[in-house]
Amino acid sequence: NVVVVGSANMDLVVTAPTLPGPGETVLGDAFTTVPGGKGANQAVAVARAGGRCSFIGAVGDDSFAAALRDNMVASGVDVSLLRSVEGPSGVALIAVDRAAENLIVVAPGANAALTTLDKADRTAIGAASVLLAQLEIPVGTVIQAAAAAHAVGTTVMLNAAPARPLPVELLQVLDVLVVNQGEAEVLAGRPASPHDLLDLVPRVVMTLGSRGVAYADRDGVRLHIEAPRVTAVDTTAAGDAFTGALAVALAEGRPIDEALAWACAAGAVCAQRFGASSSLPTRDEIDELAQR
């Protein structure tokens, strides 16, 4: 099973013919609210991919809190470790134009209040095969969770998004790093291959969009796995689908080449559909594309 520690946000999305510049107002068209946040998305991705998943995170005391909680429950995520704190839930204000260019402002809200782990969190982390974290909550909390996992032999997987330099206390306890090309460049200080990041972390997974994924580890394994050829219409959440599925496959003890190919199939299914968390694939859908 997998424990995810991370963010939950409500995405407030409006489409508009053009995006406003500073001081400008434009009239938009459709408005939607969509549960998001990399933590919640990856927890949903794990559960839909067939993994048992428990989510450690925080929502506020506003009207978005119940919707964020219910969305995870609906996909089978265990939310018994989800906190409710005073104040607003995390929100992302997103404007999208007709060319799919976007403007995003995130207000972390309750996610910023997730500063300490308690005994129940540590027990869950200790009982898990894989701990999966991202960087949309305070990094000190990620370090606490990763250190607790490392101490008992739970595999520590970090999706280093949004990109930022990583403190040495975190690097010391990481097993698997998952990054896209932009995130790898931030960590390495220059365009980098997975191999270039092995001085930081023992196992590095780099997603390459439609080109699939590259992998390197300190045992000398180097892999490049092609993505399944699909007609991509919206790659939003493809990275979350990939990362969640990879966590499930590693928790199941599947060999790395098979795990990466299966995770690529998850990302590809997601890319074929419009939507963010709603487009995360089920296990059957992943299996079907992976066997093709």
Residue ranges that bind ligand ADP, judged by CB under 6 A: 180, 207-210, 212-213, 227, 230, 232, 235, 238-239, 242, 264, 267-268, 271
Which alpha helices (H) appear in the chain, and where do they start and end? 38-48, 63-74, 119-127, 139-152, 168-171, 181-188, 238-251, 256-271, 283-290
Binding residues for K(+), as ranges, are 234, 236, 270, 273, 275, 279
Q: How far is the CB of 273 from ligand ADP (least distance, A)?
A: 12
- At 63, is the secondary structure helix, strand, or coil? helix
Q: How many CB atoms sit inside 10 A of residue 290's CB?
A: 18
User: Residue 65 or 269: which CB sits closer to ligand ADP?
Assistant: 269
Contact call for residues 39 and 114 (beta carbons, < 8 A): no
Q: How far is the CB of 148 from ligand ADP (least distance, A)?
A: 26
Binding residues, as ranges, are 9-11, 37-41, 136, 180, 207-212, 234, 236, 239-240, 270, 273, 275, 279
Nearest residue (beta carbon) to ligand ADP: 267
User: Residue 13 or 81: which CB sits closer to ligand ADP?
Assistant: 13
Question: What type of residue is 94?
Answer: I
d(CA 26, CA 206): 38
The residues assigned a catalytic role are: 240
231-235-240 Cα angle (round to 5): 130
User: Residue 55 or 262: which CB sits closer to ligand ADP?
Assistant: 262
Q: How far is the CB of 42 from ligand ADP (least distance, A)?
A: 11
DSSP characters for 161-172? -S-----HHHHT
Q: How far is the CB of 205 from ligand ADP (least distance, A)?
A: 9
User: Residue 130 or 214: which CB sits closer to ligand ADP?
Assistant: 214
